[in-house]
A and B are shown apart, each in its own frame.
Chain A
Amino acid sequence: MPEAFRHESRKKSMTNKEKYINCFTQALEVPAEGVEKLEYQGVESWDSVGHMSLVAALEDAFGIQMDTDDIVDLSSFEKGIAIMKKYGVEI
């Protein structure tokens, strides 16, 4: 199987929770450990620039378009789970 497809199928088999965690670890360049306690500006990389990368990662991962109000409200890992629900994404 070509690498690109293998990657795709790996992505498909991921749970929403795994995808959600991946968004944080990749956009904010933090380890998965402790990710559930993350809050906006709680780590150096989650500044306003990191925030926009995180939003872009979530939009790509779940195929959604977040409203500005929700972008502003996305203040923690926990809060994000509730926001994703609004877009029909169960974490």
Chain B
Amino acid sequence: MGLDLLRGKVAVVTGAHRGIGLAILERFVQCGADVRVVNRRADPAFSERCRALEQEHGVRISECFADFEDEAQVKDAARALCAMKPAPDILVNNVGIAGSTMMFTMTKMEAVRRSFEVNLFSAIALTQALSRQMMRQKRGSIIFLSSSAAFDGGAGIDYSASKAAVIGAARRMAVELGKFGIRVNALAPGLTRTDMGAVTSQADQAQAASRAVLGRIAEPSEIADAAAFLASDLSRFVTGQVLRVDGGILR
């Protein structure tokens, strides 16, 4: 990985506290980016890790907070981010919840709405605010986290549907923002070794691994590498796409 791939760029990463978001934070700072994270709440251990990463890579990491179930908090965070200079070059909408594992006939609409709030609506609200800053500088790369479940319905109704909706949102934004030099893409990871991934039973994890032609599930760092590609100028002619990072689920 070229270490200076993102040198001089500023990225906003949501849900960097753990899992894929944390791996993206780590990869981006290794590549030289300054990162502004949006986490649910403050955590001294996380802040300490950020200070160590800053030292190690000569970058700056700042934190702001929002619970993505609460639109008002997301708007406040967006306002705080918009007040920071310089404007960001990259936005990764990573926050997500797995939601219900029940049959859809047994899933409460309340749960469906909650997943859409966290996985889609909050990301749209944040992107509305930050893309306006990117429009001014006529450049930017926005990345959404979808999922292989968007294609194969491999999770509960709320998750599968909201992750499919994320793709529609990313495509529409790509259409509208292209003229401002802003690219919008989505990543669709297969099952990945994080706390969310661990919700899946051992038997289902083994089945997921066997469906991928590479014969295993993903590591968070592998999703982060794909995010670095989409964030960087290496993908400068790529927009409106869904990059599947699933080890090749072809059947």
List A residues at the B interface (Cβ < 8 Å): 49, 52, 55-56, 65, 67-68
Contact = CB atoms under 8 A, between A and B. Distances in A.
Chain A, interface SS category? helix
Nearest to B83: A65
B179 A52 contact: no
A52 to B, nearest CB: 6
Contact of B129 (A49, A52, A56, A68): A68
Contacts of B136: 56
Nearest to B129: A68
A5 to B, nearest CB: 22
A85 B132 CA distance: 22
B53 interface: no
Contacts of B83: 65
B82 A65 contact: yes
Contacts of A56: 132, 135-136
B132 A49 contact: no
B107 to A, nearest CB: 30
Contact of B75 (A49, A52, A55, A67): A67
Contacts of B132: 52, 55-56
A68 B125 CA distance: 9
B135 A52 contact: yes
B164 to A, nearest CB: 24
Nearest to A48: B176
B79 A49 contact: no
A67 B79 CA distance: 9
Nearest to A60: B136
Interface string B57-84: 0000000000000000001000100110
Nearest to A67: B75
Contacts of B125: 68
14 contacts: A49-B179, A52-B132, A52-B135, A55-B132, A56-B132, A56-B135, A56-B136, A65-B79, A65-B82, A65-B83, A67-B75, A68-B125, A68-B128, A68-B129
A20 B88 CA distance: 27
A52 B128 CA distance: 12
